[in-house]
Amino acid sequence: MELIWDIVISALLVIGGFFGFVGSLGLVKLPDPMTRLHAPTKAATLGVGSILIASMIWFAVKQDHLSLHELMVTVFIFLTAPVTAHFISKANIFRDWPAEKLPRPAGEGEWAVHQADADTSKGELAVEKETEAAQQD
Amino acid sequence: MITYALIFAIACYSAALLFNLFRVVKAPGVTDRVLALDTMAINAIAMIVLFGIYEGTALFFEASILYAMTGFVATVAFAKFILRGDIIE
């Protein structure tokens, strides 16, 4: 029984290490920013996930107490990884993709990333326009 | 067997951290730097957990939780600064 758990923990550790390595290798090797974004956000989460599961099983088997700290870390990383990926891709669109190169959004206006540019293109700050609108109300 | 797997995983994550460091120093765009810092924080969490298994102590989990939180906040702040030129508007 001990041997089975040893094999499971070792396999999870090897899988986790491999995926962490591949994620960061992709960060260096892949050709353009959006594909570079894809590599670490997926692979690092999977790698850290299996390392944390391995740690949870290790503490349950070897030290006979179930620790739920790892579950907390896993949940936190799984919740925050999409948010950071979304923020970084949005910043990337803002810097590298002008509004003409993007497909048109449905309805009026621009995409949200370029909306601030559209607001300030009349030579005044969007904040000043907002305060003027508030004063008129 | 677990010892060898642990050493393999630690070696993998050390190489991964070196790749990230390379990307932070030499990046084609500023978003790549932010992404490399974010990946670095996640890899550091994995390293802390692996070190906890290696030492056989559950002492380091609070450190990894703190690292996860501050890494997330730092990445969001960087991205917000690139997007808007300001963090709290």
Is A17 within 8 Å of B58 when comparing Cβ atoms? no
**Cα dihedral across residues A120, A126, A132, A136: positive or negative:** positive
Binary contact (B16, A21; C-beta < 8 A) = yes
Per the prediction, chain A carries an average pLDDT of 82
pLDDT in tens, A22-75: 999 999 988 888 888 888 887 778 899 999 999 999 988 888 878 787 888 888
- B1 part of contact set with chain A, CB < 8 Å: yes
**B63 → chain A, closest CA residue:** A73
Query: Confidence class of residue B57 from pLDDT cuts 50, 70 and 90?
Result: confident
| pLDDT value of position A132 | 62
What is the share, in percent, of chain A residues with pLDDT greater than 70?
84
Chain A CB contacts of B30 under 8 Å are 95
pLDDT of residue B50: 92
Do the Cβ atoms of A96 and B28 come closer than 8 Å?
Answer: no
Of B31, B36, B64, which is closest to A95 when you measure between CB atoms?
B31
Nearest to A84 among B52, B65, B75 (CB): B75
Cβ contacts of A48 within 8 Å, gap of 6 or more:
A16, A20, A74, A77, B42, B43, B45, B46, B49
Spell out which residues of chain A touch residue B1, defining contact as CB-CB under 8 Å: 6-7, 10
CA dist A33 and B27 (Å) reads 10
Cα A98 to Cα A16, A92, A114, distances in angstroms: 38, 11, 8
Nearest residue to A9 (alpha-carbon basis) of B81, B62, B54, B18: B54
- CA-based diameter of chain A, in Å? 76
Residue A28: which of B10, B23, B50 has the nearest Cβ? Answer: B23
- Residues B34, B82: contact at Cβ < 8 Å? yes
CA-nearest of A25, A54, A50 to A40 is A25
**Which tokens belong to B8?**
């393999």
Would you call B63 an interface residue with chain A, using a CB distance cutoff of 8 Å?
no
Closest approach of A101 to chain B, Cα-based (Å): 18
B32 contacts chain A (CB < 8 A): yes
* Residue A56: Cβ within 10 Å count: 21
Q: How many CA atoms lie within 13 A of A88 on its CB side?
A: 29
Evaluate if residue A96 carries a pLDDT over 80: yes
The complex scores an ipTM of: 0.88
Tell me the pLDDT tens digit for each residue of B32-55. Answer: 999 999 999 999 999 999 999 999
How distant is the Cα of B73 from the closest Cα of chain A, in angstroms?
9
Q: Do B46 and A47 touch (CB under 8 A)?
A: yes
Residue with token string 């690092």: A44
Whether residue A12 is predicted with pLDDT greater than 90 in this model: the reply is: yes
